[in-house]
């Protein structure tokens, strides 16, 4: 049965059409999920021993006291992106005018290498290492907020697999600080503000309680966070990980929270990978625009790339999802081989 649902957090509408899973696809063999193209640690710019292949690091953990920067022995390593989308020294272009607005591409763009192991996954990392990754990301988010006076928002994201835009196998996250608030974030700011005006509560705090009580879309939970498949999921097997404590930004998370949320994140990626081997997915961490933290509730999203957008999605802005979130959540809860510490 098809239905049209609205995501209260973004205001966007989604068509749920499970019957479309059976439609014929003459190109299925060409799109069959495969691992990323083979590469070796010797060729990988993010592997230990190849530190000279990246710009000089800005933060690293794991080396002994006195060890030189940009040397092996690290556990997590952050450095500027060699091919940045935004940079603090971009030339001023003026304000633009009329029908041709334009601005300088100022900001910051960094990479965080998530551990030294070349073909690791967030789903098979030790929770302690994943917590260390989130801690390094948090520190770099705080630093990038100050990288240029025009920065208004900092987005953390990861691309895993070829269908999610990844170009390197080595697990890594990226951080972009820029002068514009992303459209999706602005939608969330407005929906959160409207809910607070109308109901006097945080929409995500209320959603967290409702999803945990209902259970139909619940995937996992621990003392510091809850994961569920959103009611109006745009992507098949999409997951939303929300901290229990209300805070506007990853920058405000406390160490015990990061450790618990890292355990949940790793568990949920493991569930997804057990259900769909070689799955491509994006990871996004949404924090408030700078100066708007009070009304926001930061959160993570896991966005699997199990199907491709076509003309209707591109032309309408509506998503079509062939897997109801209730079905996806049940599959993820029961995924085999994912027993690990989620506390």
* pLDDT higher than 90, residue 206: yes
In this structure, the number of other CB atoms found within 10 A of the CB of residue 209 comes to: 13
Q: How many CB atoms lie within 10 A of CB 331?
A: 18
- In 15-126, which residue ranges form alpha helices assigned H by DSSP? 28-31
Residue 24 reports pLDDT greater than 60: no
Using one digit for the tens of pLDDT, what is the confidence trace for 125-147? 999 999 999 999 999 999 999 99
Half-sphere exposure (Cβ direction) of 73: Cα atoms closer than 13 Å: 10
For position 312, what pLDDT does the model report? 86
Do 34 and 278 meet the contact criterion of CB atoms below 8 Å apart?
A: yes
pLDDT tens-digit series, residues 84-100: 999 998 877 766 778 88
- pLDDT digit string, tens, across residues 45-68: 999 999 999 999 999 999 988 899
Q: What is the pTM of this model?
A: 0.93
Beta bridge partners of 226: 221, 242
Token readout for 51 is 């530190």
Q: Where are the domains of the chain?
A: 3-20+42-55+107-333
Residue carrying structure tokens 């990844």: 166
CATH topology (fold) of 3-20+42-55+107-333: HIT family, subunit A (3.30.428)
Q: Please name which of 134, 123, 122, 126 lies closest in space to residue 61, comparing C-alpha atoms.
A: 134
């Amino acid at each position: 049965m098809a239905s049209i649902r609205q995501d209260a957090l973004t205001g966007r509408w989604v068509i749920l059409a499970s019957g479309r899973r059976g439609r014929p696809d003459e190109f299925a063999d060409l799109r069959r999920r495969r691992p990323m193209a083979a590469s070796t640690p010797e060729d990988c710019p993010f592997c230990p021993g190849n530190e000279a292949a990246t710009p000089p690091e800005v933060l690293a953990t794991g080396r002994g006291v006195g060890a030189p920067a940009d040397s092996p022995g690290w556990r997590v390593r952050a450095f500027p992106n060699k091919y940045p989308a935004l940079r603090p020294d971009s030339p001023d272009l003026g304000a633009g005018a009329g029908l041709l607005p334009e601005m300088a591409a100022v900001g910051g763009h960094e990479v965080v290498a998530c551990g030294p192991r070349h073909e690791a996954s967030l789903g098979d990392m030790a929770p302690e290492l994943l917590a260390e990754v989130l801690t390094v990301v948090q520190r770099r988010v705080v630093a990038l907020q100050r990288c240029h006076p025009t920065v208004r928002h900092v987005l953390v994201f990861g691309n895993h697999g070829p269908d999610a835009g990844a170009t390197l196998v080595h697990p890594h996250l990226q951080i972009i600080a820029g002068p514009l608030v992303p459209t999706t974030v602005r939608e969330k700011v407005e929906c959160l503000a409207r809910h607070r005006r109308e109901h006097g509560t945080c929409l995500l705090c209320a959603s967290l309680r409702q999803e945990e009580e209902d259970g139909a879309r619940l995937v996992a939970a621990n003392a510091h966070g809850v994961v569920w498949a959103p009611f109006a999921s745009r992507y098949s097997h999409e997951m939303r990980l929300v901290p229990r404590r209300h805070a506007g930004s990853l920058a405000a998370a406390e160490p015990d929270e990061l450790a618990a949320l890292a355990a949940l994140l790793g568990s949920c990626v493991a569930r997804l990978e057990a259900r769909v081997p070689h799955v491509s997915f994006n990871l996004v961490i949404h924090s408030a625009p700078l100066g708007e933290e009070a009304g926001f509730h930061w959160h993570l999203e896991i966005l699997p790339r199990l199907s491709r957008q076509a003309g209707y999605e591109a032309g309408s802005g509506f998503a079509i999802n062939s897997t109801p979130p209730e079905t996806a959540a049940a599959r993820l809860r029961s995924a085999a081989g994912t027993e690990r510490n989620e506390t």
